[in-house]
């Protein structure tokens, strides 16, 4: 663990601690930290009183540290470890943390619009997980190290990092548009990649930004 860069290590520890607390105390105390659609919505009863939930600004970051299950947590943390640490070696801890949190917030904004629209169709659900930040990290890794060979887990196919980013981006777009694999925030993943792209372009002083 000492060899893992500080920002990457902090992300792994915080997410793991929150997940452990979920298992010990249940998810009820985390309702206000999940990402909810805009509005006031009934979430159940506690001690005979109705509990309502709805969007609050801090949820754009807090939802990214809550996970829906062990496999959800493990997949995201493995990606942060594999790709985030490599970026941190180049960027440093401060820039890496800013980037990951920016991608989580960008993904949250996109998902907020999607989830709020879904309410009009009778679908009410919270969004949790660091996947938006993970997809932003994947994008950055592909742009920083485009020719580095990486290995998919399922199926185990080697490919260039740039190819991996394109494959995941197209796949998420298709799944999101077609509504396949319900329960997964595909547009949030794309939002994380879009936010990451804008952050990188800003740092580089490239379109749509310009250096002063």
- How open is the CA angle 96-97-101, to the nearest 5 degrees? 120
What is the mean pLDDT, run by run of 10 residues, along the chain of 212 residues? Answer: 88 96 90 92 71 92 94 92 95 97 96 90 88 94 93 77 86 67 76 95 86 58
* Close Cβ partners of 108 (under 8 Å, ≥ 6 residues apart): 35, 59, 60, 61, 63, 64, 127, 132, 188, 191
Q: Is 212 within the bounds of a domain?
A: no
The number of domains in the chain is 1
Q: Is 40 within the bounds of a domain?
A: yes
Q: Is 86 within the bounds of a domain?
A: yes
- How open is the CA angle 54-55-58, to the nearest 5 degrees? 130
Q: Is 210 within the bounds of a domain?
A: no
Q: Is 96 within the bounds of a domain?
A: yes
How far is the C-alpha of 120 from the C-alpha of 73, rounded, in Å? 30
Q: What is the pLDDT of residue 185?
A: 80
Q: What is the pLDDT of residue 3?
A: 85
Q: What is the pLDDT of residue 208?
A: 85
Q: Is 27 within the bounds of a domain?
A: yes
Residue-number span of the structural domain to which 96 is assigned: 6-204
CATH classification of the domain holding 170? 1.20.1540.10
Q: What is the pLDDT of residue 52?
A: 85
Q: Is 209 within the bounds of a domain?
A: no
Q: Is 1 within the bounds of a domain?
A: no
User: Hunting for tokens 């060979």 — which residue is that?
Assistant: 149
């Amino acid at each position: 663990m000492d060899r893992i860069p500080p920002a990457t290590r902090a992300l792994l520890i915080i997410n793991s601690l929150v997940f452990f607390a979920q298992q010990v105390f249940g998810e009820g105390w985390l309702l206000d930290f999940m990402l909810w659609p805009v509005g006031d919505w009934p979430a159940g009863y506690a001690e005979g009183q109705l509990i309502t939930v709805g969007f609050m600004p801090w949820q754009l970051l807090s939802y990214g540290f809550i996970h829906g299950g062990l496999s959800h947590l493990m997949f995201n943390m493995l990606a942060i470890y594999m790709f985030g640490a490599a970026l941190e070696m180049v960027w440093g801890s401060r820039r890496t943390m800013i980037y990951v949190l920016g991608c989580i917030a960008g993904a949250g904004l996109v998902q907020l619009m999607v989830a709020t629209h879904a309410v009009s169709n009778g679908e009410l659900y919270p969004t949790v997980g660091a996947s938006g930040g993970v997809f932003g990290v994947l994008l950055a890794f592909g742009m920083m190290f485009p020719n580095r060979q990486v290995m998919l887990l399922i199926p185990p196919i080697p490919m260039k990092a740039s190819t991996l980013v394109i494959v995941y981006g197209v796949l998420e777009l298709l799944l999101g548009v077609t509504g396949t694999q319900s329960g997964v925030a595909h547009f949030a993943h794309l939002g994380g990649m879009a936010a990451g792209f804008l952050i990188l372009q800003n740092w580089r002083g490239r379109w749509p930004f310009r250096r002063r």
